[in-house]
Structure 1
């Protein structure tokens, strides 16, 4: 994708099932060796199972009538051995095929997760978290039967059907023709059922995604607090019940789709032995060639053996068509265009001084939207500090997100030590730029684990040093479990100021030469803000700092202050210089003074 475009377009739609099936088959390509073994086991099992009716024919036509006890014993032993070998081959093929299927599911889950990890921030601002979770959990989970057993079942049943038909022809071709007359009708019915279930499955998975999103949002800590305080608990329950009711209907329709038609097939197949006996009797009645009792029993045994794999084969075809809907939803995510990619020949910087420049920067979400940023030219020398202020929606946060490439510019460029950030490798950017935002995210893990997310190999001493610098060590040490204390979902066990100081300690541990503070104290009360600001001052020392300011009292010492309005730079200078100008900045300072609480 060109650098001056970041607009998201829907993923390409597959033109038809054949291409999608080929794509599914490619998922199994890395495991073709194991699948070849499964094929050999399936072939061996089919040959062994087909041999049993022929041994039964010899028992009835030769061994028993002629009183050949030795032959009878060998045939009986052969039939027992055939059953044992068939079972052993079946267990082995199930083990291998299940292992291959689970590996394919692992590959799919990992591929989707990796794809989503590389998506730009814009994707997640327009996609519900529950929808993403549903694709990984429900859609891929729904494929389990298909990828673990369907492929083997298809090969096994197809091999059994072919081997059985060949054996039936060898016994009596006329009876075989009678047995197979209705097979084309059965195939047509199964395809109709498969198409019907595929449509219903697509609707069902969408409904499950909606439910997953509702659960994720309404049963989080924030969702529970909002629902309780707004008195919406009952209405949320009713809304969820309505969504669940819709899923019930889709599940019933999915399970019942074509059930009567498939039942008719089962009835007809079960009645076929009677047709075979009737046909053999008519042939004898009208002077046709006689069929021996052994041949007739062996043929019916084969015909009954044909019943199970044929019905299973038709059901497998239905299942495959149904699973295509799930694969399509997964492929939609795998086909999402990645807006922010690492260059083919990325630049790696071993040492980053920290000079940041915005050169003619323009940013817009798509070609039709108005620019969020337009013509921004700013230079922040290494170790210097820049503060960006302005009204809500002026583009302050967007400007800061361009440095770590959470977004890419649509015009101009952003450089780090003279190198366009789009030309740097991701490792250099991750090491060079640290972000502390207003909304601190903490995992549901221990304090130590949350801090070590920045530096997995950090020692306990390093954790303590970072926490002390962030002025949170004493509080952590006072907890019953100290650094092993679980922070709760999104850090709910800690106050806003404590979470901010944990985030600062985490960034100190990362030790980036460039620091971005995105309204890091705007949601805090005055007393907590002072404590957090002291931690921020310690963090900012000797680093290039870009501060998105809400309270202007925190940025008076900045080397340079830039005022944004509608994405454009309208003022710049130091705190004193801008006050003398009596412009936008001076007005913002007066507003802050009026809002400042009386001490």
Structure 2
């Protein structure tokens, strides 16, 4: 889709405001043209010159003939009054047009931002895996900002073109011959601007690319600032980003230098057109110069008044071409074709009565060939705990990601009470789940707001109760502002164990029907692990729970333990049963509980 079509697509959602903008723009241009037409006859009359309006536009002849009855000085006073009235109406409509066009521009930009935000919330996780966050931020911020400027430019172009068309109509009513020549000359001027328009688009593309690279690099540096400092790579990062800044500034300069050439060239070309019309008018009307002096002067004044608008239009064309690459980036960003979206389902989830069945599951990540899961068959009865263990890369986390439908299996299906998971309305399904992972995410907000994120209508008493059950209350009340303490970006002001307990409290507050624990204690020290494990036991009591285990000691009491190896389930049983079998689970257990324990 071209930039013009994208803007038109959004503009058509606001037909009333488009109509108002066009109507007010036309009215302002008409009053502008009328006031301009009246100036020359009035000036000539005030100077005592005879005003011959033979060949003048009919509207001008009618105005003069209607006022001729006043006679003498009164006639020209009426004419001056009409000029002032036309100017007043022109400025009033211009002011109203400015407000409506500004509202239209802001509305279109707001629509684009909202659609971009909605797309980011709707698209599947696979999109984020393949797309750099810095690129997304640049698109949602910088590129949409440039698109906002493009929209304002497009609205300005619309108003300017309306004004030019009105002036051309007036010029045609005075002399179609001169207007034909004027239009031809101005068209040549506009065509000559095409060279600068093409260059503007090229430089705009370079600037858009450089801005994207800069945003990506800065975000990656900030995200990995601990690694940067730990490895002493500050100078390397500075030099890398400094080069990106220089490249961006060069692209910006090239774009500005190209745009700066357009106004002076348009001004010189416009003056050339005026001189050419003067000469041609002298040639065409050689024998009528005296009788048509008022008409010719009016024509030249209207033409002279129109030329700045032609220059504005050419400048706007160059600016729009410079911004077109950003509009194209936004168009690609907003286009839903080719992006992964999960089917939403249609049956509201209202709880389970039997359990969850994983039936012949297979899964391959989009764009990859290796099968991560293969023929997985498991049964998780309601109110019980199923633990997944195995070496790194066995497919444990992938299997857990299929339950909240972060991905759908490439083969097989997941059933809740014999109904396919895909049938359930995805929002209500996820609302019924609580997920606690080793990489806990917390907002740069207060403890209270982080806990209440799981349940926006939670009362203070419910928040406190959840914190107590998660063994988090004691450390929370010791914080400087208690539950109102700001915890920093991703909870950086808290320890790992404290962050995990907040995540568990958040899950408790939601009171989920299904619980997913993804190696929630793997990165904790012994004391923190005991506190977190105690909170997990409280959280998972009487809930249907899927646990991904790193330390086998945390899942010994699970109702079932499934051992995964290379994407397949190789063993299923209780802790005692699996030890007796002497298979892979027994080997992993022996490795972890040997004198030199190893991780799995």
Instruction: Give TM-score, length-normalised by structure 1.
Output: 0.91
How far the C-alpha of 1:262 sits from its partner, in A, is 5.4
Query: Who is 1:225 aligned against?
Result: 226
Confirm or deny: 8 A CA contact 1:518 1:547 kept in the other structure: yes
Determine helix, strand or coil for the equivalent of 1:86: helix
- Where in structure 2 are the equivalents of 1:139-538 lying within 5 Å? 139-147=143-151, 149-220=152-223, 223-257=224-258, 259-260=260-261, 263-282=264-283, 287=287, 289-290=289-290, 292-336=292-336, 337-343=338-344, 346-353=346-353, 355-366=355-366, 369-538=369-538
Determine helix, strand or coil for the equivalent of 2:324: helix
Query: Who is 1:572 aligned against?
Result: 572
Determine helix, strand or coil for the equivalent of 2:170: helix
**Structure 2 residue 53 is matched with structure 1 residue 52:** no
Query: Who is 1:10 aligned against?
Result: none
In 2, Cα distance between equivalents of 1:21 and 1:87? 29
Determine helix, strand or coil for the equivalent of 1:257: helix
How far the C-alpha of 1:166 sits from its partner, in A, is 2.0
Determine helix, strand or coil for the equivalent of 2:509: helix
- Where in structure 2 are the equivalents of 1:32-111 lying within 5 Å? 32-65=15-48, 68-111=72-115
In 1, Cα distance between equivalents of 2:591 and 2:473? 35
Query: Who is 1:6 aligned against?
Result: none
In 2, Cα distance between equivalents of 1:368 and 1:283? 76
How far the C-alpha of 1:63 sits from its partner, in A, is 5.0
How far the C-alpha of 1:160 sits from its partner, in A, is 1.5
In 1, Cα distance between equivalents of 2:324 and 2:372? 41
In 2, Cα distance between equivalents of 1:380 and 1:281? 97
Structure 1 residues 290-299 or 355-364, which shifts more? 290-299
In 2, Cα distance between equivalents of 1:547 and 1:326? 45
Number of residue pairs the alignment of both structures matches: 575
In 1, Cα distance between equivalents of 2:436 and 2:153? 49
Confirm or deny: 8 A CA contact 2:37 2:302 kept in the other structure: no
How far the C-alpha of 1:366 sits from its partner, in A, is 3.5
In 1, Cα distance between equivalents of 2:354 and 2:40? 87
How far the C-alpha of 1:208 sits from its partner, in A, is 1.3
Confirm or deny: 8 A CA contact 1:283 1:290 kept in the other structure: no
Determine helix, strand or coil for the equivalent of 1:571: strand
- Where in structure 2 are the equivalents of 1:578-593 lying within 5 Å? 578-593=578-593
**Residues 215-264 of structure 1, C-alpha deviations (whole Å, 9 max, x = no match):** 222224xx222111110111111111011111111111222236435532
Confirm or deny: 8 A CA contact 2:436 2:503 kept in the other structure: yes
Determine helix, strand or coil for the equivalent of 2:343: coil
In 2, Cα distance between equivalents of 1:210 and 1:314? 31
Change (3 A) 1:535 1:368: closer
Please list every run of 5 or more consecutive structure 1 residues that lacks an aligned counterpart in the other structure: 1-13
Instruction: Give TM-score, length-normalised by structure 2.
Output: 0.91
Please list every run of 5 or more consecutive structure 2 residues that lacks an aligned counterpart in the other structure: 51-70
**Residues 287-337 of structure 1, C-alpha deviations (whole Å, 9 max, x = no match):** 465464433332222111111111122223333333332222122222244
How far the C-alpha of 1:503 sits from its partner, in A, is 0.5
In 1, Cα distance between equivalents of 2:413 and 2:284? 89
How far the C-alpha of 1:59 sits from its partner, in A, is 0.9
Determine helix, strand or coil for the equivalent of 1:545: strand
In 1, Cα distance between equivalents of 2:45 and 2:343? 76
In 1, Cα distance between equivalents of 2:468 and 2:536? 12
How far the C-alpha of 1:193 sits from its partner, in A, is 2.6
Determine helix, strand or coil for the equivalent of 1:380: strand
In 1, Cα distance between equivalents of 2:422 and 2:76? 81
In 2, Cα distance between equivalents of 1:404 and 1:93? 51
How far the C-alpha of 1:416 sits from its partner, in A, is 2.0
How far the C-alpha of 1:167 sits from its partner, in A, is 1.6
How far the C-alpha of 1:567 sits from its partner, in A, is 0.4
